């Protein structure tokens, strides 16, 4: 073999190494989600400082997720225009660069404008990331690879989610906004190490596709609703900043463990088996959070732990189930649908709870949502069993 052909071979191996690209993806994902996690509870707090009512406070999360979903609805165009590496770089810039601009004003309209831009960036980050991890996973290792990706996305919650609240309360909001912005821009710089030619493919979802993925996606939305509602309103529902920071830390740790545990189990059992238990666990967490806010603060950490574990397990199991049910040639479609469920659930939970709080108060709203999540999960599972029974006959 000539020197030039050897060099080309080595370059090809270096640029095409799935393990190397997966490692870069994990680091970039971690840094982008530092931005996301740090502001998940802090932006609603900033809106509250500006005098926003509970519905408007909840809408900050809803608008973020709404902008993300609208962008994802254009996935068929986005995947044609941009390679996956380009999507990640542009997304991280849009997510991180506007973040320090929150400092300019706590007016709700200004907050919403910044949040919409960040939502578009977040959509590009998660679309490219989820598609890449599905493509880079080795045969028979999708669940464990997805759990590593999910862990990279969840680990920032351990420090950034509770830490953002604590820093904002202790040293002020500007430090949170600047730190989160810089972290995400660093991720954008590192994203140039992702596969240069990789592209995602998106085909529109058919009615048959909807039937195949309705149950895993629907049940996962319930866990996302639970987590989105809790992280948005827990910081302003009554407990002290120290209690809230500790509860969010516990929830974040449980989320990581839940996702890792689901990844280990997922390569050994049929995908989708953990979804109903995760939704019921989320409902129990909401119920305990309600009681903690109402009269028993000692239950707050347990409630947070259940919510985090439920959301982590639900994330991994639903992602694997969606990818497998749509097939290996439609990873772009699967990642888009799954991310829309993730983001839509988080936003819906925040907006819905903000609407209910005005009538029932914080404790009543958490309890109402707990009952709704548990009931919906059981109904979805019953509908699936009826459909399978009818199909077998």
Mean pLDDT of the chain: 85
pLDDT digits (tens, 9 = 90+) for 235-244: 878 778 788 8
- Residue 238's φ and ψ, nearest 5 degrees, are 135, -40
Higher pLDDT, 319 or 14: 319
Residue 140: pLDDT band by 50, 70, 90 thresholds?
Answer: low
Task: Give the position of tokens 């608008």.
Answer: 63
Rg (CA), the chain: 20
The secondary structure of residue 99, as a DSSP letter, is G
Cα 206 to chain center, whole Å? 25
Averaged pLDDT, 7-19: 47
Q: With 60 as the cut, is the pLDDT of residue 14 above it?
A: no
pLDDT of residue 309: 95
pLDDT of residue 26: 94
Q: Which of 100-109, 193-202, 205-214 has the lowest mean pLDDT?
A: 193-202
The secondary structure of residue 202, as a DSSP letter, is -
* Cβ neighbours for 3, distance < 8 A, ≥ 6 positions apart: none
Q: With 60 as the cut, is the pLDDT of residue 126 above it?
A: yes
Higher pLDDT, 340 or 285: 285
User: Which of 184-193, 245-254, 260-269: highest mean pLDDT?
Assistant: 184-193
Q: With 50 as the cut, is the pLDDT of residue 228 above it?
A: yes
- Per-domain boundaries in the chain: 10-392
pLDDT of residue 6: 34
pLDDT of residue 16: 56
Instruction: Tokens for 259, please give them.
Output: 């996702």
pLDDT digits (tens, 9 = 90+) for 170-201: 899 999 999 999 999 999 999 998 887 777 66
Residue 155: pLDDT band by 50, 70, 90 thresholds?
Answer: confident
Q: Which of 83-87, 141-145, 147-151, 208-212 has the lowest mean pLDDT?
A: 141-145
Residue 12: pLDDT band by 50, 70, 90 thresholds?
Answer: very low
Q: With 90 as the cut, is the pLDDT of residue 298 above it?
A: no
* Cβ neighbours for 150, distance < 8 A, ≥ 6 positions apart: 259, 263, 312, 315, 316, 319
Q: With 70 as the cut, is the pLDDT of residue 391 above it?
A: no
The domain defined by 10-392 carries CATH number 1.20.1250.20: yes
Residue in 184, 176, 51 with CA at minimum distance from that of residue 110: 51
Residues 43, 103: Cα–Cα separation, whole Å: 11
Averaged pLDDT, 131-145: 74
Task: Give the position of tokens 């819905």.
Answer: 352
Averaged pLDDT, 196-218: 78
Residue 137: pLDDT band by 50, 70, 90 thresholds?
Answer: low
Residue in 348, 288, 361, 367 with CA at minimum distance from that of residue 54: 361
DSSP E strands: which ranges in 261-393?
Answer: none
């Amino acid at each position: 073999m000539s020197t030039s052909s050897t060099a080309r071979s080595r370059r090809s191996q270096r640029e095409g190494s799935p393990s190397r690209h997966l490692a870069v993806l994990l680091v970039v994902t971690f840094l982008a989600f530092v931005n996301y996690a740090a502001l998940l509870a802090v932006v609603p707090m900033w809106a509250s400082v500006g005098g926003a009512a509970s519905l408007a406070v909840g809408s900050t999360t809803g608008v973020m997720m709404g902008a993300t979903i609208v962008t994802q609805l254009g996935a068929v165009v986005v995947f044609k225009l941009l390679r996956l590496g380009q999507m990640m770089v542009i997304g991280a810039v849009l997510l991180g660069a506007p973040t320090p601009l929150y400092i300019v004003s706590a007016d709700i309209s200004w907050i919403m404008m910044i949040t919409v831009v960040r939502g578009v960036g977040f959509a590009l980050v998660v679309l490219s990331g989820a598609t890449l991890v599905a493509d880079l996973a080795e045969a028979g290792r999708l669940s464990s690879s997805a759990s590593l990706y999910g862990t990279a996305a969840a680990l920032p919650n351990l420090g950034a989610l509770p830490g953002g609240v604590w820093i904002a309360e202790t040293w002020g909001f500007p430090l949170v906004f600047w730190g989160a912005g810089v972290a995400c821009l660093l991720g954008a710089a590192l994203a140039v190490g992702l596969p240069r030619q990789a592209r995602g493919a998106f085909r529109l979802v058919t009615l048959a596709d909807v039937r195949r993925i309705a149950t895993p996606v629907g049940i996962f939305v319930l866990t996302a609703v639970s987590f989105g509602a809790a992280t948005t309103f827990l910081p302003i529902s009554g407990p002290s900043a120290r209690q809230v920071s500790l509860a969010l830390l516990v929830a974040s740790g449980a989320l990581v463990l839940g996702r890792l545990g689901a990844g280990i189990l997922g390569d050994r059992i049929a995908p989708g088996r953990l979804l109903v238990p995760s939704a019921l666990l989320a409902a129990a967490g909401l119920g305990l959070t309600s009681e903690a806010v109402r009269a028993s603060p000692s239950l707050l950490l347990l409630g947070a732990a259940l919510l985090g574990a439920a959301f982590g397990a639900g994330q991994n199991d639903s992602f694997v189930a969606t990818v497998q049910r749509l097939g290996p040639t439609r990873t772009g479609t699967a990642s888009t649908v799954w991310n829309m469920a993730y983001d839509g659930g988080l936003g819906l939970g925040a907006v819905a709870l903000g609407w209910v709080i005005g009538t029932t108060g914080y404790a009543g709203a958490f309890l109402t949502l707990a009952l709704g999540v548990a009931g919906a999960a059981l109904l979805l599972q019953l509908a699936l069993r009826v459909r399978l029974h009818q199909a077998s006959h």
